Structure 1
Amino acid sequence: MTDVFDQAAERADEMLSDALFEQQRRAGLTGQTIQDSAHFCAECDEPISDARRAAYPGVHLCVDCKYQQEKQARRTRGY
């Protein structure tokens, strides 16, 4: 029998997994694997970490370049 803390931890894991899947689905990445990810950023040619590649299968930008891309998109949209 599990206690309340174990149940809460399991639920938190499920919610994080669901959120990650939803984020990947919105980005159109659900059919891709870590092997589809770039090892080096398409913008700056810096290495992309294995953790990022695993979290976002199909990724082609490093964290910094993705941040800059999103920042520019927000400016363009007027946010």
Structure 2
Amino acid sequence: MATGWAGDGAVQDQIDATVADAVKRARSRVPRGASLKRCEECGAAIPEARRKAVPGVRLCVACQSEHDKAEAAFSGYNRRGSKDSQLR
């Protein structure tokens, strides 16, 4: 199959790299350590139930929701580009 300037297996290499980056990013966001009793951003109390449910929690529900929205705004992927543009 003709692939232009891309070498054999370049598409699969791109897919593998994308998946590896996503896994690395997800692992880096997993909370570690002891849960905080107060939110590190706003200082609000973090309920005991949340601290037990999410080990290593650092933010209250409201701040975590805002953090998640900001994180979703940056996906890091060129989802609209053609396959050729992603190989460059």
TM-score calculated relative to the size of structure 1: 0.54
How far does the alpha carbon of each residue in 1:27-72 deviate from its partner, in whole angstroms, 9 at most, with x for none? 254xx5xxx1100000100000000000011111001111100100
Q: Which residue number in structure 2 is paired with residue 75 of structure 1? A: 73
Measure the CA separation in 2 of the matches of 1:52 and 1:64: 12
Q: Which structure shows the higher helix fraction? A: 1
Distance 1:50 1:70, change over 3 A: same
State the Cα RMSD in Å. 1.7
SS of equivalent to 2:43: coil
Measure the CA separation in 1 of the matches of 2:73 and 2:47: 27
Q: Which residue number in structure 2 is paired with residue 54 of structure 1? A: 52
- Contact 2:31–2:57 (Cα < 8 Å) also in 1: no
State the 4+ residue runs in structure 1 displaced beyond 6 angstroms. none
SS of equivalent to 2:62: helix
Q: Show structure 2 runs of 5+ residues with no match.
A: 1-26, 77-88
